[in-house]
Each structure stands twice: as structure tokens, then as C-alpha cells.
Amino acid sequence: MKRIDWPTVRADFPVLQQTVRGRTLAYLDNAATTQKPVAVIRALCEYYGTCNANVHRAVHYLAEEATRRYEATRARLARFLGAAGPEEIVFTRGATEGVNLVAHGWGRKFLRPGDAILLSVMEHHSNLVPWQLLARERGLALRFLPVTPGGELDLTGLDAALAPPVRFAAISGASNVLGTVNPIARIGATARARGVPLLVDGAQLAPNRAVNLAELNADFFVCSAHKMCGPTGVGALWARSDRLTQMNPFLGGGEMISRVTLEESDWADGPHKFEAGTPPIADAIAWGAALDYLDALGMGAVCAREKELAQAARAAFAEIPGLRLLDGGPDRTGAVSFVCADIHPHDLGQFLDSRGVAIRAGHLCAQPLLRHYGLTAVNRASFYFYNDESDLAAAADALRAAHSYFA
């Protein structure tokens, strides 16, 4: 693994250079959204300044250049994720829309009353609510893999959990609360042996680990650019080509058709069938710059740096009186969730903000998982590669001060 000058990397992120509440910003809410390097900001501005036009529709220079850059990111993302080709990548507004697209386009078409969907207790609401809506509409049952006391998925009964009437499974690649990285390849292999299609919510996995879709044994995979140093408003659904062919379109309109009469329409092939209307062109193009940036660092280095910081944070936070860390599996992302005795998470979050430390406070869009732990809200400090020891020290100092302030 190459040696990286992390202070130089940090300098690539303008937002981290500012002061907040009179102190240098310590941004530790990366599981919610990551900051953007200069290269991504520049790519966004360059599109609007040099080739702002709609894609796939005109033959003039601006449209051709916009289309070229837009499709280059599709190909770039396919390589980043290890997809067979760009024809398997559908641009969406984010991971949430990707899950909804599959629920609508595949679930509505193939799931019947009495069928069941397998999820897990640690799912983000984005990979739970769409299936609840579909279950209510179609008369489906929802089943759940439990969580062990150590914060891992309990897979002791995995084969039985995937038995009929289960006909679909949707599992997070990593928990946004616990940081636990789930053994998706094992789950996918068992699901495939049972003939059960698997969707992986990769919103927390793709930013933090090298992903090779060929090894995951999945049928669908979703992710969001804004959690990968890219812009908000764009994400992707990867699906095996045969699954995309099987699916019905999610939205109707321009671009997703091949022929339209007054009475009926035929759909476009491949991913374009699911990209009705004007897509997030500028955001998709800038996402390509973010992927280039991550690749230049190397996802192995990103993962190692994140683990180093998160491990140090857990050790430092464990020394703070009254602070309880939530357990996670042996392989974790940079998410470190905790509660402090007698301090409401929202109060603690505001106290840390007064000292320039940005963390998350609340249910983290994972109410069932928190309920499993007997909690309604927690705090989360989530680290990314551009964080450094000063961020950790600022957070630990603020937590110690909070303990004294609220005592």
C-alpha cells in the first residue's frame, strides 16, 4: 500500500479549513454525507461553465460533450464497482430511489400475496420502508435476520430464513449505526442457492470498502454519490442485465422510450428505460471526478485510514465516564455510535457543536435497531479518510467537557 500524506489530502477539502463557533471545524458526520474535494467542485462548475446541455437528445456540440461526460461516469462507476459493463448501471437520485425502483419495477411485477421478503433488524429506513409499502400493497410478509449481542447479523439460521415463502432479500452492506460490515458474499451465495434475488444497500459500503460486485453474489446494489465525496442528488442502481430486462420502468416520460404512439409506448433498452426526464447531469459528471479521487488514493488506503481513526476514537471515548459505546462486528466502517448517561443525545450534539465538533444525534434513520438496544436516540461520530487526530482530540475533549457540564 502506497504511503499517503494525509495532511495534504485534507487540504483538498475547502469546507474543513473553516472555523465554526470560533473553533476549527471537526467534521465527524461522514456517514450522513461526506465533504467534497476541490476536484469535484471544479468538475461541477466546469460542466455549467463549458457544456451545459441536456443529454442524449441533440446533435450540437454542447449536448454531445455533456452526453460524453455523463456516460463516462456511468462507465467509470461500473469499473469502480466491478460491474460487467456500464449497461448495468442506472443513475438515480440516490440509494433510496434505487431501492424504491427495485421495489416498484421488480417487486410489484414478481411478488405475489403470501410471498415474503427477508430483511434485517439493522436496516436503514431507506431499505425498510419501501418494502413495508410493497408488503402492504401486495399482501406480503416481512421477515428479519436478528442482530447478535455483539452487533453482527445472526446468520445461524440463514438457510432456513431464505426458505419459501421468502422470494426476495434486501440487506445492508454495512450498518450506519454500528459500522458493522456484513458478510454479503455469504448471504448472497445462500440466497442464490435458494433462488432468492438479493438487493444490497451499499450506501455505507461503497464509500468505505473496495466493492467487487462479481464477488457479492447479489442481483441488485445501490449507492449514493454524496457519501463518496460526490455531489448530492445522484446515486446508482446496479442490476444484473437479466434483472434490468425483467423489470418494469419506475417513471414514464422522455428518454426512457424507443417508440411512442397516442395509445402505447415501447421502452428503451438497458439502463435508459429507468432514466425518464432530464437526469442529474452535472452531479453525475462530478461524481466521476469523485471516483477518480478515491481511486487515486486507493480504497485499501481509505479503509485502513478510516479504521485507524475509528479504533482510536473508540479507545478514547471508552475512557470518558458515563459513555457507552454500541458494539459492532470485527470488521467496521468509521461509524462510532454511543450514548452518555443522563445526557440526551440532542443536548450532547448541540454541546459539541458549540465547540466546533459536528456529530450526528437522533435515531439515525434506524429506529428498529435502536429499539432493539432499548434506545430511542444515540450520538454518532463517523470518521473518513480526511479526518485526523485533531478531529478526534477535539471530539474527546468536548465529550469530557460535556460530562462535567451536565453533571
Q: Is 312 exposed, middle or buried (0-12, 13-18, 19+ CB in 10 A)?
A: middle
Contact 185, 211 (CB under 8 A): no
Q: Residues near 196 by Cβ (< 8 Å), separated by ≥ 6? A: 118, 162, 166, 167, 168, 169
Catalytic residue among 51, 229, 340, 365: 365
Contact 153, 97 (CB under 8 A): no
Buried b (16+ CB within 10 A) or exposed e, 45-62: eebeeebebbbbeeeeee
Q: Is 223 a catalytic residue?
A: no
Phi, psi of 59 (to 5 degrees): -110, 5
Residue 74, all three cell numbers: 456511468
Contact 57, 214 (CB under 8 A): no
Between CA 83 and CA 67 the distance in angstroms is: 21
Helices (H), 87-220: 95-102, 108-110, 129-138, 158-161, 184-194, 213-216
Amino acid at 13: F
HSE of 93 in the Cβ direction (CA atoms, 13 Å)?
10
Residue of 235, 208, 205 whose CA lies nearest to 77:
235
Name the residues annotated as catalytic.
Answer: 365
